[in-house]
Structure 1
Amino acid sequence: MGEQDRSRTPAGSRTRRGLAAVSRLVTLALLLVLVFAALALILVPRATGSQTYTVLTNSMAPKYPPGTFLVVKPEPFAQLRYGDVITFQLESGKPAVESHRIVGFASTQGGEKTLITRGDNNDVNDPNPVRELQVKGKLFYAVPYVGFIANALGNTDRSLWMSVGAAALICYGAVLIVRTLRGMRRSRGAENPGEGPA
């Protein structure tokens, strides 16, 4: 007597359906992660005119450790408040920047308003007050660890890579949706093999 084909038993059929359901859930979860990544890392920064930076030091730990991806949105200088995290040029007109928290306000002898800043993990304030023309913007939101990937892509080509990444994520998302829909149709067809045109 030959062995019974387990795949045709109700238990085998239930197992197949269960695996297909798990596969669909995993695909949906992956798609949601990709959509979130595309929105948070690429589309929202572009739509809001924000700039992106990566935390390189421990000065803002533990909340913003090295590798944190910062999205910094332009903000009128007069609207900056105590406690805001801002990104500013260390020296006016030079590319090096830092992201620290506003811990006070001051003014120059000429009456120009300036900001006193300090890293959350630092014991002392930054040595130089920050002038309006040095401020790049206020922290909009931060995503942990993603900054390492952004740095690997390089600062010069980052905007090109971000555009390519957005297109790739959208295409991949579309492929996942099509595959999921096809899988659902196949499982329905396998469950009802007798249905169809007479």
Structure 2
Amino acid sequence: MEGWKEYLKYFIFFIILAGIALGGMQVLKASFKTTYPIMVVVSQSMVPTLGVGDFILVGQIVDFEDVVAESMPEGEIIVFLRPGSTNEYIVHRAVDKYFMNGEWQFVTKGDHNSVQDSRPVSETRVMGKVVGKIPVLGYFPLFIKTSRGFLFVAGLMALVFFADYLMPEKRLEKAGGRFPFLSLIPFAVAPIVLLLFVTMPDTHLEYEMFALGAWYVGCLIAPFAFDDDDMGMMFWLYHFVLVMIPLANDMIWWITRITPSNWWLVSGSTVPITWLLQKESPFFFEAFNKLALLLVPGCLLFLALTALKRRGVGALTMLSARLRRYLW
């Protein structure tokens, strides 16, 4: 009965998270006054100003006459529908503008591109301008839109949520629920690296490799550091899904140059956040296989050590008790 109470708490927690996400989107729409206030960059056309996988915040343009249209870095970055398309969104810099037939026309160019876009963009096709960005984390909603990505995340969640059945605990001592703050140090590296990307957009791969190594250290320590295994697994899961998956996807882009636009052969350079599964291309399978090589060994390490500890293996139980004394 106690186990089902725990699962009910998890279910309620996720319902609350979903409500916050939906409510937050409505708040953003009202605040930014745009149809898609938050989007994800899926191509390299704006690197390094906007990185692949970045969330971008799209605000309303009140008066198109006020849009600054100049070369990099002064020109404002706008989001618009590609001329002639109804569902391909582009995020490029306005480098020139002129008034014709009662409308402002914008000449645009990606910062990474060598030439300007072939056709000017009418103000009627401009959705808004970029007013902010969040580096790399946009990979997460893109990843779970793929069938393999969705199954990968769902499978890990199932392992953690049903750990009492899949990894039954045979230890005699009762978990105290204390939180080993020092054990967070390896897991803190990746969020710090993401913060660094705000000011250092050109140095991703080296820092990401360091963060990946620190995460492996965390996977080795965390099973023994937490007295409450459920708390430890939930902490590990959220960190992995929300931080490590985006970071690893960004590593794959820097290594292979396979962008999310290649995952689905998307022609645009940015996409709205939608939660529908989409059929992926062979390029995604290549990227996913490399991502699995980066992350799956760490997942197996953490889960295997957690399972052995829960089964009361003597040496691991003693190691866990000793490690907790140092970390608390």
- The equivalent position to 1:79 in structure 2, one of 62, 66, 74, is 66
Match of 1:157 in 2: 275
One-letter identity of the residue aligned with 1:65? G
Segments of 5+ residues of structure 2 without an aligned counterpart are 1-20, 70-74, 146-272, 277-328
1:45-60 pair list within 5 angstroms? 45-48=28-31, 49-50=33-34, 51=36, 52-60=38-46
- The equivalent position to 2:103 in structure 1, one of 101, 108, 112, is 112
Quote the offset at 1:107 in angstroms: 4.2
| 1:107-142: CA deviation from partner (whole Å, max 9, x where unpaired) | 44x453200110011111100101011100011101
| 1:168-188: CA deviation from partner (whole Å, max 9, x where unpaired) | xxxxxxxxxxxxxxxxxxxxx
For residues 96 and 28 of structure 2, what CA distance do their matches in structure 1 show?
28
Q: Give the aligned CA root-mean-square deviation in angstroms.
A: 2.7
Segments of 5+ residues of structure 1 without an aligned counterpart are 1-37, 159-198
Q: Which has the larger radius of gyration?
A: 1
Identity %: 29
1:14-163 pair list within 5 angstroms? 45-48=28-31, 49-50=33-34, 51=36, 52-76=38-62, 77-82=64-69, 83-91=75-83, 94-108=86-100, 110=101, 112-154=103-145, 155-157=273-275
Quote the offset at 1:44 in angstroms: 6.4
Quote the offset at 1:148 in angstroms: 0.6
- The TM-score normalised by the length of structure 1 is 0.53
Given the superposition, is the C-alpha separation of residues 46 and 103 from structure 1 closer, same or farther in structure 2, using an over 3 Å criterion? same
Q: Secondary structure at 1:137's aligned position in 2?
A: strand
Q: Secondary structure at 1:102's aligned position in 2?
A: strand
Range moving further from structure 2, 96-105 or 70-79 = 70-79
For residues 47 and 27 of structure 2, what CA distance do their matches in structure 1 show?
25
Equivalences, count: 120
The structure carrying a bigger strand percent of its residues is: 1
Deviation above 4 Å: which 4+ runs of structure 1?
41-44
- The TM-score normalised by the length of structure 2 is 0.33
One-letter identity of the residue aligned with 1:45? L
Quote the offset at 1:42 in angstroms: 5.3
One-letter identity of the residue aligned with 2:51? P
Quote the offset at 1:47 in angstroms: 4.4
For residues 146 and 125 of structure 1, what CA distance do their matches in structure 2 show?
28
| 1:52-98: CA deviation from partner (whole Å, max 9, x where unpaired) | 11111111001211101011011122221120000000035601110
Is contact 2:55–2:136 with CA below 8 Å preserved after alignment? yes
